[in-house]
Amino acid sequence: MTRTPLQSLILYAVVILTLGLILFPVYWLLVTALSTTDKLYALPPKFWPVDPHWDIFARVWEAKPILQWLTNSLIAAVGSVALSMLVSVSAGYALSRYSMRGGAAMGMFVLTAKMLPATLLVIPLFSIFAKAGMIGSLWTLVIAHSTLIIPFATWMLKGYFDTIPKELEQAAMVDGCSPLGAMVRVVLPIATPGLAATALYAFVLSWADYAYARTFLVNAPDNWTANLGITTMQGEYVTYWNDISAAAIFVAIPIIVIYLFLERYLVGGLTAGAEK
Amino acid sequence: MANISIRNVEKSYGALNVLKPFSLEIEDGEFVVLVGPSGCGKSTMLKILAGLEPASGGQILIGGEDVTDLAPGDRDIAMVFQNYALYPHLTVRQNVGFGLRMRGMDSAEITRRVNDAAQVLEIGPYLDRRPKDLSGGQRQRVALGRAIVRQPRAFLMDEPLSNLDAKLRVHMRAEIGALHQRIGTTTVYVTHDQVEAMTMADRVVIMRGGEIQQIAPPEELFQRPANLFVAGFIGSPGMNMVRGMASGGRLSVLGHEVDRRAGRDGPVIVGLRPEHLRIGEGRAQFSVRPTLVESLGSEKYVYFDAGAPYRTESDSERSKGLIARVAHSGPIAAGSELVLGYDPDDLHLFDAQTGLAL
C-alpha cells in the first residue's frame, strides 16, 4: 500500500516529534554538561553554549572515581544477569516444556512477585542482608536485582521457548542427546535472540537501579555504583549540575554501546513470538 | 536392521485410555504403516516406540533387545518428523551429521557417511545451506538424510509427507518406497492418508480410538475388511453401506433379491464399493435416479439415494448419498433413470449389531 504525500508528512511529523520528546533530555544533559555554571540558569535558555567546555569530561573523570563506580555497576549488572539468566532459563524452559502438578499456578505466582513495587521489598531485603552480614557488599545488589528480574525474565523466556517446536528436542534426543543436551545443543542456540533480549532487559534494570544501591551500599563508598556515586556529587549548598551531567553521560555510554551491539537481537527477540 | 516386537503396549493419561493394549510383530526389513483418523493413537504408539513418551504398560523389543525403558538415543532408531524438525541453526551438512557426532564418530567417517547420504538423496548441492534456504521437498530429503546416515536398526516416520503439496507428496512417496527397497531397513510409518498406507506398506495397521481394527497387507484390507470401520476407511470414494436382510441364502437389498449366503439369517449391513457398480452390467441390477453427477474426466461419480429403508447411519456422514464410480461413457443426467448393476460376489456383508464382517 502506498502512502499519499499528506500521510507521509503526518507520519514523519509524528516520528520526528516522538524522537524529539525522547531525545530532548539527552540533548539537554549534554548542553548542561558543556555550559558554565553561571550560564545554566540564563533566561531565555541557550540551546547550545556559546563557549562549550569540552574539558569538563576530563576534569570530572579525574576528580571523581567514575571508573570505580562504573566497574561496581558493571559487576552488579553482570552478576545479576548471570544469576537471573541461570534461574530464568531453567524455570522458563520447565514451564514451557514440562507439565507439572500446579505448574501453571506456580508460573502465575512467580509473576505476582513482579507486581510488587521494588521499594516495597527494600525493607525485608535490608533486614535479610543485615542478618546475613552482607550490607555494603555488591552481592546484595546481585541478589536484590535478580529478585526483580527473574519473574519477568522467566515469562519472557517461557514465551520464547513456546515458539520453538518440541519436535526439535525430540529429534535431538533420537539423535542421541539427553534432555539437558537437547536443550543446550538445540534449544538455546535457536533461542539466542530471546536470550539476548532478556539479558539486555536484566542488564538495564540492574544498571539503572538507585534505590537498592542507596539502601544497601551507602556506607561502603568503595562499592558505590555509578548512580549512587553521582548523587553524592550533589552539594549541601552548591550543586554543580554541569559536573553531574558530565558524570551522567559517562554512565549512559555503556548502555548505549550495548544497545547498539544488541539492537538487532533485541528487536528480533521481542517480535519473534508475534511472527509464529 | 532388526525385527520389532510390540507386546501389549498401552498408554493412559489418568482415566483417559488413549492407547489400548497394542501388540504387533514387525519382521526384519518390513514396511508397516499405522493409519487411522486423528486421535486414533497412531502417533502416540510411534512416540512410545521411539522412547519419546513412556508407555503405561507393555514391552517393546527391537532386534530381540528389550528397549522399553531405554532413552530414545539408546534405541538405535531414527525418526522423521511431520514438520521435518531440522535444526535451524545448523547447515544441512551439520544437520545430517548431528546424530553421528553425538555418537562420537570420528570426523572422517562422518564426512564419508554424510556425503554418501547426500548422494543417495541428491542433496549434495545444498550441504552448506541452512534449512530456511530450502524448499519443502529439499527439507524432507534432509530429514530423510539425517535418518539414513545413522544406519539405524529401524526408521520411524511420523506423517513425513503431510506438509508437502499434493504433487510433491506423490513424488516423495515413491522416493521413500524406492529408498526402502534399496536399504531395506525396518520401517514404521504413521499417516492418516489411506493412499500412502495402501501404496507403501507391506502391512497396514488400521487404528481407531486407540485400538487396532485390522492388521493386513493392503490388498487384503481392501478385499476383506474386518469390520465396517475398515471397509469405510479404505477405498476412495469409501464403500457404500446399505441395510439388507439375509434369509435362506438370499439377500434382500436395494429393493431386489440376490443369491448370496450371509452365514446366518437376519438384518445385515451390505457394503458395495463404488467401483464395483457398472452401468447396465452385472448379475444384479437396479434402477436409480442420480441426484448428482460429477465428471472427473476419465470417470464419473454418480450419486444416488438408497431410499429410506436402506439408509445406514454412515449415510448421514456422506450427505450426497451412495456413489457409483463409472467409466466415462456418454452423458448421464441427474434426475433421469439409470440402471446400475453389480456382481453379488462383490458384496461385503457385516453384522448389523457388531459391525464385524460376516
Query: In sequence order, what are the beta bridge partners of B214?
Result: B206
The answer to whether B77 faces chain A, any CB pair under 8 Å, is yes
Q: Where are the domains of chain B?
A: 4-228, 237-351
Q: Which residues between 138 and 167 in chain B have a beta carbon less than 8 angstroms from any beta carbon of chain A?
A: 146, 150
The answer to whether B81 faces chain A, any CB pair under 8 Å, is yes
Q: Where are the domains of chain A?
A: 1-54, 65-275
Say which residues have a Cβ less than 8 Å from residue A261's Cβ, sequence separation at least 6.
none
Residue B287 has pLDDT above 90, yes or no: no
Strands B65-66 and B57-62: antiparallel
Over residues A107-149, the pLDDT tens digits come to 788 878 778 887 888 999 999 999 999 999 999 999 999 999 9
Integer Cα distance of B294 and B286 in angstroms:
20
Residue of chain B minimizing CA distance to A189: B89
pLDDT at A6: 92
Say which residues have a Cβ less than 8 Å from residue A51's Cβ, sequence separation at least 6.
A36
- Which three three-digit cell numbers place residue B11? 498408554
Task: Put residue A63 in one of left, alpha, beta given phi > 0 → left and psi -120 to 50 → alpha.
Answer: alpha
Say whether A175 and B146 touch across the interface (CB within 8 A).
yes
Integer Cα distance of B206 and B216 in angstroms:
9
Give the closest residue to B79 by CA, choosing from B55, B108, B113, B53: B53
What amino acid is encoded at B37 in this protein? P
The minimum CA-CA distance between A171 and chain B, rounded to whole Å, is 7
Residue A272 has pLDDT above 80, yes or no: no
- Write out chain B residues lying below 8 Å of A193, CB-based: none
Over residues A188-234, the pLDDT tens digits come to 999 988 898 899 899 999 999 999 999 999 899 999 999 999 998 88
Query: Architecture of B4-228 per CATH?
Result: 3-Layer(aba) Sandwich (3.40)
- At the topology level, CATH places domain B237-351 in OB fold (Dihydrolipoamide Acetyltransferase, E2P) (2.40.50)
Give the closest residue to B4 by CA, choosing from B83, B107, B76, B57: B76
Integer Cα distance of A72 and A137 in angstroms:
10
SS3 label, residue B115: helix
Contact predicate A144/A76, CB 8 Å: no
Give the closest residue to B32 by CA, choosing from B179, B196, B195, B205: B205
**Backbone phi, psi, residue B2, to 5°:** -165, 160
**What is B155-185 written as a DSSP string?**
EEEESTTTTS-HHHHHHHHHHHHHHHHHH--
Contact predicate B213/B230, CB 8 Å: yes
- Write out chain B residues lying below 8 Å of A170, CB-based: 47, 50, 52, 72, 79, 81, 85
Over residues A242-258, the pLDDT tens digits come to 899 999 999 999 988 88
Integer Cα distance of B79 and B73 in angstroms:
11
Query: In sequence order, what are the beta bridge partners of B205?
Result: B34, B215
Confidence at A93, pLDDT banded by 50, 70, 90: very high
What CATH number does the domain located at A65-275 have? 1.10.3720.10
Strands (E) across A88-183 are located at: none
Q: Which of A174, A185, A195, A276 to mutate to test the interface with B (most CBs of B within 10 A)?
A: A174
The minimum CA-CA distance between B206 and chain A, rounded to whole Å, is 25
Question: Is the full-model pTM beyond 0.90?
Answer: no
Q: What is the mean pLDDT of residues B252-271?
A: 84
SS3 label, residue A32: helix
Residue B29 has pLDDT above 90, yes or no: yes
